[in-house]
Amino acid sequence: MQKIIEGIDKLQEILEAINSRKMFMVIDSSYPFLNIKERIEQTSVTKVCFSDFSPNPLFEDVCKGIDLFSAQNCDAILAVGGGSSIDVAKCIKLAVLAAEGSDALIPPLVSKQVEIEGKRIPFIAIPTTAGTGSESTHNAVMYYQGSKQTVTNDGVLPDYALLEPKVLATLPLYQKKCTMLDALCQGIESWWSVNSTDESKGYAKTAVELITKNWRKYIFDNDSRAASQIMLAANYAGRAINISATTAAHAMSYKITSMYKLPHGHAVAVCLPEIWEYMTAHPEHCIDPRGKEYLTDIFNQISKGLGTTGPKESIAFVRNMMNEMNMENPVAVNREQELDILAGSVNPVRLKNNPISINEQTAWYLYNRIVL
């Protein structure tokens, strides 16, 4: 069972509890500028730092971390950073503990949940953004031979998620917007996912309500209390998708990111209102075994969480939120060609989580609305 701890002051206690003597720190380029750096470095444990990876981590990057971890005989992992740092740390843990080593991270093994001795390397994650919720999921992303691989294994879930909202105070404003939107979309998508459970819906509800109540003060006022609530919301959203997985908005966002260079949260957020509007107009295509009436009720529950009176108003809420933050949709250059590429890019496996079926023709229609 993962422990959620609030406050950087608790790090020393955690290190004493896990009895670490040499800790492997996975850090990104923001680490030297973090306002919690000094507190981390004051802890009484030997530290080996690894930061030699790209923002979209490559298999080769992870292998360098695996080699360093093994050469230094580390006994615990601390990931400090955004989703990339935490994902790299997860991949390193999996490879170090799996009998298959680094092969566990590449096809076909990456899809098979290889066995690992999950308790042998304690793992602490300190997120420095409020978005992915990666500190509370058993998923990681890396790229192998140019293709995105989603590594999924229960054993890579961090044992401790240490939340410290102070780190959000110095985030660039655009990054705060993108990561918060990612958390909001994760909460909404998890709530309507065909894989949702009562537990995941509870997490999703908390995430959506916290963001709805605090986003303006967080974005426009840099309010410290709002930041703590948004960080908590992102963690709840991560816990939600850890159970339910994401749906069409995430599935359709990845190619937008690569083609138009929109950060992940921004790309997901331009997709979500168009997909939601399509789903409300086509209940006859419901593939959730709980049925159309159930889905209608879920849409209404989400609307209540957003503080609106129904799906139509909720869709308008998300669009207005985007407008207030000046988060614009991507613009096509060669429209027909780009729409064809986008529509053909969507992973059908990810679309199976969506409660309303979406085929390639429907994806083309939706991209035609998303891309200006």
Per-residue pLDDT averaged across 351-370, rounded? Answer: 97
Residue 15 binned pLDDT confidence (cut-offs 50, 70, 90): very high
pLDDT(89) > 70: yes
Which range of residues forms the domain containing residue 90?
3-166
Output 231 or 143, whichever has higher pLDDT.
231
pLDDT tens per residue, range 59-77: 999 999 999 999 999 999 9
Residues 143 and 61 in one domain: yes
Residue 1 binned pLDDT confidence (cut-offs 50, 70, 90): confident
Tokens in use for 345? 């890019």
Residues 177 and 113 in one domain: no
pLDDT attached to residue 20 = 93
Number of separate domains in the chain: 2
Residues 149 and 245 in one domain: no
β-strands 22-27, 76-81 pairing: parallel
Please give the share of the chain, as a percent, with pLDDT higher than 70: 99
Number of helices (H), then strands (E), in the chain: 14, 8
Q: Partners of 160 in the beta sheet?
A: 3, 124
Residues 305 and 356 in one domain: yes
Residues 296 and 178 in one domain: yes
What CATH code is carried by the domain that includes residue 100?
3.40.50.1970
User: Domain end: 116, 141, 166, which one?
Assistant: 166
Amino acid at 325: M
Residues 225 and 327 in one domain: yes
Residues 104 and 206 in one domain: no
pLDDT attached to residue 119 = 64
Per-residue pLDDT averaged across 2-13, rounded? Answer: 96
pLDDT attached to residue 348 = 83
pLDDT tens per residue, range 19-38: 999 999 999 999 999 999 99
Residues 293 and 219 in one domain: yes
What is the Cα gyration radius of the chain?
A: 20
User: Domain end: 166, 199, 219, which one?
Assistant: 166
Residues 178 and 161 in one domain: no
Cα–Cα distance for residue pair 242/128, rounded to 1 Å: 19
Is residue 90 within a helix (H) or strand (E), and if so which, with residue range? helix 83-97
Q: Partners of 162 in the beta sheet?
A: 5
pTM, rounded to two decimals = 0.95
Please give the share of the chain, as a percent, with pLDDT higher than 90: 89
Per-residue pLDDT averaged across 337-342, rounded? Answer: 97
Pairs from 61-69 (Cβ < 8 Å, separation ≥ 24): 61/88, 61/142, 62/88, 62/91, 62/92, 62/95, 62/102, 62/105, 62/142, 63/95, 63/102, 65/26, 65/89, 65/91, 65/92, 66/92, 66/95, 66/96, 66/101, 66/102, 68/24, 69/24, 69/96
pLDDT attached to residue 185 = 98
pLDDT tens per residue, range 169-213: 999 999 999 999 999 999 999 999 999 999 999 999 999 999 999
What CATH code is carried by the domain that includes residue 270?
1.20.1090.10
Phi, psi of 130 (to 5 degrees): -115, 85
CA proximity to 213, closest of 229, 237, 224, 236:
229
Amino acid at 276: W
pLDDT tens per residue, range 305-325: 999 999 999 999 999 999 999
pLDDT attached to residue 118 = 61
Residues 135 and 178 in one domain: no
Q: How confident is the prediction for the chain on average, in pLDDT?
A: 95
Residues 261 and 283 in one domain: yes
| Range of weakest confidence among 238-242, 302-306, 348-352 | 348-352
Residues 145 and 271 in one domain: no
Amino acid at 326: N
User: Domain end: 166, 190, 222, which one?
Assistant: 166
What residues contact 51, with CB distance under 8 A and at least 6 apart? 26, 27, 28, 29, 31
